[in-house]
Structures are given as structure tokens and as C-alpha cells.
Structure 1
Amino acid sequence: MSPTVDAAAPAGDAILRRQRIRESAARTYARSFPIVPVRAHGMTVEGADGRRYLDCLSGAGTLVLGHNHPVVLAAIRRTLDSGAPLHLLDLATAEKDDFTTALFESLPPAFADRARVHFCGPAGTDAVEAALKLMRTATGRRGALAFTGAYHGMTAGALAVTGSVTAAPPARGDVTRLPYPYPYRCPFGVGGRLGAELSATYTERLLDDPSGGVDAPAAMILEAVQGEGGVVPAPDDWLRAMRRITAERGIPLIVDEVQTGVGRTGAMWAVEHSGITPDAMVLSKAIGGSLPLAVVVYREEYDAWQPGAHTGTFRGNTLAMAAGAATLRYVAAHGLVARSAELGARMTARLAALRDRLPVVGDVRGRGLMMGVELVDPAGTPDACGALPADPALAVRVREACLRRGLIVELGGRHDTVLRLLPPLTITDEQAEAVLDRLADAVEAAARSAA
């Protein structure tokens, strides 16, 4: 039977109440943003209460063209009207062939020229599982090298290589944790370029130490910009060092581009900033054009699986492939990669000015339209690098203040104290100014309330 709606309560409130009753305690975004979206276009979301919001969450980076972009809707409608089968496991279809062509055209040529693609279950976490499983099969080894601050998904293998200890991960016996360069909160207490150099030196010496306790690993997995970890970009020199270290030792390098791909960082793929060619790239989110799709692309010499070695029922999402191909081509054809780099630099510069004016802003960082603002307690004691203590309560107040001002931004980082900005690549100059104005006003108001 259909649930009875309380006529005395607004429809949105009734929906939120039923969600609280019916859904699991693991729900997250619904807690941060107690709204019921009913319409969305571009980066504007309208709630059931009639309020409008600028969406800087963008489906955790999925919506590079924003909500309901015309080119995406046209691709979906065209596919529906064609009568194409919507679900065919991993059978060949014209839509899959077209998506694969668009994907390979977008990849760095040195990688794409000798690459294979595997279609996974529809979430990025399954592509991470597939990449790790593939490299274990190809190398005959078990272990993995992963990094502090990493986030790779919520299934068992992906959790094992994720840095957070709050997500109830499984045993990590096969995973060696390495220090990721994080200038503001440097794991070596030195910061800057030296911190990245020490990270590379530590990694190299650990792997070469016969008493280091690390068996030859099946793979190294890393993010070129850590997203959930607090929007921490890896220095290009450090990425090149990781590529050299792994290549010299025959260790496959997996780069997780789930959140950084399709123009987000000011390059089509984040690896292009450093010029490295990984052995595998994990892709999801934006590649499906707002619909579920995930793949792992890898160098053909690692294609060691037997038929059926990594399957899944929902590997043939025809609508997502059509929407994804349209998205990839639109981003390339309309200069959105360069737009991401240029506008992201301008927005980050203005955020940096906010740091200079407000002591609760400890650090501002990012790449392209993937930006982070770390909030701190200015009354706290700085660490060896001068970083102030995190202030989780302030961060929550800022997020709530943003929502009251019609701005959706989410938190991330070590203590959930980094405001993460992931606007669509189609954001206008006027919208960018509105985002920055609302954010600055929210930070100032929240800081005053704490004084």
C-alpha cells in the first residue's frame, strides 16, 4: 500500500520524516542537507519548499555538466526512442562501442594506444576491486601499497586501501601504508617540497630494505588529488617519482581517477598534469554522464584474466554509456577542460584572500574546479609546520550557514573540516561569484558565532 501522507505537513517534510524512519543509519548527505530536491538544472537545485540552491557538491563530482544538461538528456532520449536494449550484461552493442571509442579518444595517447578496458559494476569501488584483483592475477603477488588520506570506496578491498579508520575497514594485512604529501599537515613535520621529497625517499628505501617487512607488492594505488581526504593535490614531481619507483621495481601503478577525471582538475585526466603514464586507471562518476558507470582501463600486458574472472550483472548500462559518450565529447569540444583550469585558479585565488582575512581559514588548496578550504581553531597551538588544530564544530556550522544562504557544500578531510567545492564545469562567472560571496559570508558568520 502507498504510505499515507500527512496533509497537514508540507510534502517535503513528510518525505524527510519517512526517510528517517525507513532508511539506514548510514545515510550521510541526507543528514547534511535536509532538503527534498524536486527540480534541478545546471548547478541550481530547487527544493520542495521552493528554495533554490547553488550545488557545489555535484553528486560528489559526478555532474561535470551539472544537472540535466541538454546534451545528456538528448543522448538518453535518443537511446530510449531507438529501442536499444537497456541491459545486456557484457554483450557488444553500438552504444558500448561508441562509448569505448569516446573514452579512448579522451585518454592520454601513450596510455590509450596499448590499453584494454574492463566494464565493472556501476560504482567506482568495484573498479578499484577489479584493478587490484587484476594486478594480483597478473603479478602473482598479494600486497598493495596505499597512502595515508586515501579514499577508494566502500567494498572490502577498496576499504583496505582506504586511509580512514572510521569506516570499519577489514583487516589490512596485505596493505602497506605510505605517507602522502600534505603540505599543511605534513606527515614528516616539515611541509612544502621537502615533505614530498621525504615521502618519495621513504617509499623507495622501504621497498629496497630487505628487513623493511614489505613483500614485493602486486600494485601501488594512489589519487593524483585526494578528494575525500581533504582536496590534497599531489605535487607533479612526487607523482613522477612514484612512477619511476614503481616502474624500476616492476610494480604496477594504479591511479584512481574516479573523482578527478573528465576535466575536473583542469586537465582531462589528472595524470596529465605530471605527464605520467600509469599501468591502470580507475574511472567512474563523470564518465557515466550522471548515470552509474565504472571501468578500469589498463595496459594490455596485464590482461591476465580468464573469461568470467571478474563479472557483474550491471556491467552493460546502455543509458549510462550513451550519456557518458555525449559528456566526454561535449567536455572536449567546448573547451571545458581549459575553463576548469582558468576559473578554478581565479576562485582559488579569491579563497586564498579569504584565508588572509579570516584566521579560521587555515589552508586553501585545489586544482581546477576541485577546491578545498580547511577550517581551524585560531586559538589552538600550531604544530611543527604551523598548522592549527582542526575545528569540526566550526566546519558543521559553516556548512549549515552555507545551506541557509542557498549554497550546498560538503565536508571532507581528516576531521571533516575541509569545505569541498566541486561545482560543475559549466558554472558561469556570475555563479562563481555568488558561490564565493555566500561562502565568505557563511564563514564569517560562523566564526562570529563562535567568538
Structure 2
Amino acid sequence: MTVHPTDHPNLDHPPGKADAILQRQRARESSARTYARSFPIVPARAQGMTIEGTDGRRYLDCLSGAGTLALGHNHPVVLEAIQRTVSSGAPLHVLDLATPEKDEFTDALFATLPSSFADKARIHFCGPAGTDAVEAAFKLMQTATGRRGLLAFTGAYHGMTAGALAASGGVTTKQPVPGIAADVTRLPYPYSYRCPFGVGGEGGAQLSAQYTERLLDDPNGGVVPPAAMILEAVQGEGGAVPAPDAWLREMRRITAEREIPLIVDEVQTGVGRTGAFWAVEHSGIVPDAMVMSKAIGGSLPLAVLVYHEDYDGWLPGAHTGTFRGNTLAMATGTATLQHVAKEGLAERAATVGARMTARLEGLRTELPTIGDVRGRGLMIGVELVDPEGEPDACGARPFAPQLARQVRAACLDRGLIVELGGRHDSTVRLLPPLVITDEQADAVLDRLADAITTVTAPQFTGVQA
């Protein structure tokens, strides 16, 4: 389907149908639903970066399934892989049996990994979600080291199952679960705009590394030798906060010298999102394990753990999952990985992302409610602030969560889907598909700028319309 702005609305979905579907959803689904609250729309069709609702309205999707849709909606290579696999008569569910599709996927995945990692790697197919791969990584390293504790970072997000949630930074989701983070030591992530040390920049990152090293070496520091450290090279739900490459290299040095396995969570950063096929490539570090999901399945559920063979000490059945034999996801994943590599879409993400970030930096000088613009590649965060509030030691103004929600709604009114993240959900996150065109990138920024201007103009003097 090719979507054009001038297309007529679909006649098979009358306007009232969407309201009825939304009403039934509210009445029948769990109160834990999230995106459905932010975007009261009912998608009926989608192609590339465009979603069409049952009412005929069209939206530019800058959420991309929270980073899942590297090639956007219904990309031809993904559809062809689905159709070919279904038509072939291949079994769609085989637990962990070997299949040609699994073999091809593993070949395609290992071909994208840094050779220094892939050459001695093993792969474990997990349940369908990234959080299960995180759990598998923890269990693997606990088994290999005989230790229990974990090192994790402020601002982190690793999933919603028990271990992954414990390692995540968000307090709200952990409060109802007493004692869930008892075995996790929380370390300061280098968040330059709101530096935990009040320094910012390179100095803040250096202090973070020094703090980590001294804490681990302090016999009275209270940290029992841990089973692993887990981190994101760019924090996603944390607000598109990139870790400096030098800091990542320090984390690798610190963990290697102390024989602490390093797990890098590439669930959202992988498959070209940050301008490299895998985010670890920017710094050149070689972790002991990488957790992968989202885009590796080509829009279908798939999660894997890839790790150094030295840690492969599991007994048969030590970590299983019914849906780890998803043949369709492996086929679409192979097609996606190969297409991203063949078409140079990681490099494209770096180019387009840099251009979008540069324009957003320009808007920052015009719109004082934009406190910070950051990210890497097509993983961009725009943190909104109260420009009239008192700045902190690093010059950051107070969070503006209500403003951010208003901007998100105004974007939706303008046909743009964006989601929030970061502290207090004050950061507008941009996660467009890697196939975004230059024209679509301009349209995204035009609509976002107009939304921010419209929402803030009545509140703050000095805002340019």
C-alpha cells in the first residue's frame, strides 16, 4: 500500500467504529496498557513510516514499535519472507529444533557482529521478548560465576520480568514489589545534561568511572563481587541518553580486570538504530554478552542472547521457552538483517540522525522549552523543561512533564506519533524507521516544532512562533 496525503478515507471503516473499538478496549483490557492511553487511535493499515487509522487519518510513525520496526511497517522484504515461509510448508513452531530458517538467521546475525565477538560466540534463543533474553543473561552469568548480585545503572531499562525490572532504574514500577532490587548495586550513568555529580560533560563521565572502580575495590564499600554488570550504550526508555565511548571503554576495562562479565543490552540500539549496526561498535568494546530483540525479528517477536563460549556452562534445559522456535520471526529477521546491511541503512541512520539533531539544536535556540537535544543516529531525545525555573548546577532547568504530554498530544493532532521517556517522562523520543526519507524527516521536525511552539506560546513570553 502506498499512502498519499490526498487519498480519500477508507469507506469500510466508518468514523464511529474507532470510538467503539477504543471503548471496548478500555472496558476489557488491563489497566497496565500504556501506548493505547497515549495514542487514542485504531490503526487499520500501515506502510513504511505511515499509519492509517480506521477513520482514514494518517500519521507519521516516529515510535516504530518502540524501535522494533527497523524497516518500517510492512516492508516488501519482510512481507516476501513471510509469504515465502508460509507457502513453503515450513513448520511455524518447533521449540528449539534445528531448521533451515534458524540456521540462516544465525548466519545472518553473526555476519553483522564484530568479528572479535562473533568468532567465539554462542547463541541462545529465548522467549519472544527482550526481557526474557535479559533474564537468560543474568542466569547464565550467575551460573558461570557462582555469584548472585548485579551492577546496573541509573536511568536504565531492561524489561518488566523480575530480574530485568530489578536491574531497571524506574522506581514507580518497582515500588509495588518489595525487595525486588535487593541484589542490585546501582551505579551513576553519565547523563551529561543532568549529571549526577553536578559536573556534566566529560568530567561527569570520568567521575562515574572513578566512582565505580573505587566502590568495587573498597572492602567496606558493601558490594559483594557481582555476577555481572549490565548497561545500555544508549539508554532508550531513559530518554535517549548516549554513554560516551571513553566511558564505555572504562566500564569494559574495570569489569575485565575484576573478572566481572559485561552484558550490553542492545534490544533497542541494535540493527543500525544508532548509526552503527550495533551500538558497541562506536566504542569498540567487546562485551561478554549481548542481549538482542525488537528489530532482529523483522517486526515479529524474537529475542536472543549471544555470549562468549567460555560462559556456556548451562545444563540442558537450564533456560527454555515455548516460543523460542518462531520460524516466521527467524525468516523475517534474516531478511531484515540482510537488507539493513546490504542497503547501508546504519550509515543512513547516522547521516539522517545527524541532520535531524542539528536542526533540533537550532530549534533549541528559538524555543527555550527545549532544554537538551541528544542521542545517536535515529535514536533522538528532546528534553522539555520549564524555561522560567531555576537551573541546577549544570544549567538544566526543571522538568516539564505536563508540557511534554501536551506536546505529544499536539503532535498527534498534526499527524505525528512520538512517545515520551526519560525522567518524569519529559523527553520527546524520536525513533523513526531507518528507511525514513529526507522529506519525512523534514515533516517530522516541522510538525514537532509547530507542536512545541503552539503549546508553549501562550505560556511563555519570548517564544517565537
Q: Same fold (TM over 0.5)?
A: yes
- 1:171-320 aligned at under 5 Å gives the runs 171=179, 172-320=181-329
Asked if the contact 2:14/2:55 (under 8 Å) is kept, the reply is no
Query: 2:126 maps to which residue?
Result: 120
Q: What letter is aligned with 1:270?
A: A
**Runs of 5+ unmatched residues, structure 2:** 1-12, 461-465
DSSP 3-state at the match of 1:430: helix
- Residue 450 of structure 1 and its aligned partner are, at CA, apart by 2.9
CA distance in 1, matches of 2:344, 2:291: 24
CA distance in 2, matches of 1:8, 1:77: 30
Query: 1:355 maps to which residue?
Result: 364
- Residue 10 of structure 1 and its aligned partner are, at CA, apart by 1.0
Cα RMSD of the aligned pairs, angstroms, is: 1.0
- Residue 141 of structure 1 and its aligned partner are, at CA, apart by 0.3
Counterpart check, 1:21 vs 2:49: no
- Residue 9 of structure 1 and its aligned partner are, at CA, apart by 6.9
Aligned partner of 1:345 among 326, 346, 354 = 354
Give identity over the alignment, percent.
77
DSSP 3-state at the match of 1:372: strand
CA distance in 1, matches of 2:47, 2:145: 46
- 1:42-441 aligned at under 5 Å gives the runs 42-168=48-174, 170=177, 171=179, 172-441=181-450
Distance change (3 Å), C-alpha of 1:49 and 1:250: same
Q: What letter is aligned with 1:406?
A: G
CA distance in 2, matches of 1:368, 1:8: 39
Asked if the contact 1:395/1:416 (under 8 Å) is kept, the reply is yes
Query: 1:445 maps to which residue?
Result: 454
- TM-superposition CA deviations, 1:22-74 (whole Å, max 9, x none): 00111110010000000000000000111000000000000010000000000
DSSP 3-state at the match of 1:364: strand
Asked if the contact 1:233/1:367 (under 8 Å) is kept, the reply is yes
CA distance in 1, matches of 2:362, 2:386: 18
Asked if the contact 2:166/2:174 (under 8 Å) is kept, the reply is no
Asked if the contact 1:62/1:290 (under 8 Å) is kept, the reply is yes
DSSP 3-state at the match of 1:373: strand
Query: 2:39 maps to which residue?
Result: 33
- TM-superposition CA deviations, 1:132-155 (whole Å, max 9, x none): 010000000001000000000000
- Residue 448 of structure 1 and its aligned partner are, at CA, apart by 1.5
Q: What letter is aligned with 1:220?
A: M
Runs of 4+ in 1 over 3 A off after TM superposition: none
- Residue 236 of structure 1 and its aligned partner are, at CA, apart by 0.1
- TM-superposition CA deviations, 1:285-324 (whole Å, max 9, x none): 0000000000000000000100000001111000000000
**Runs of 5+ unmatched residues, structure 1:** 1-6
| Aligned residues between the structures | 445
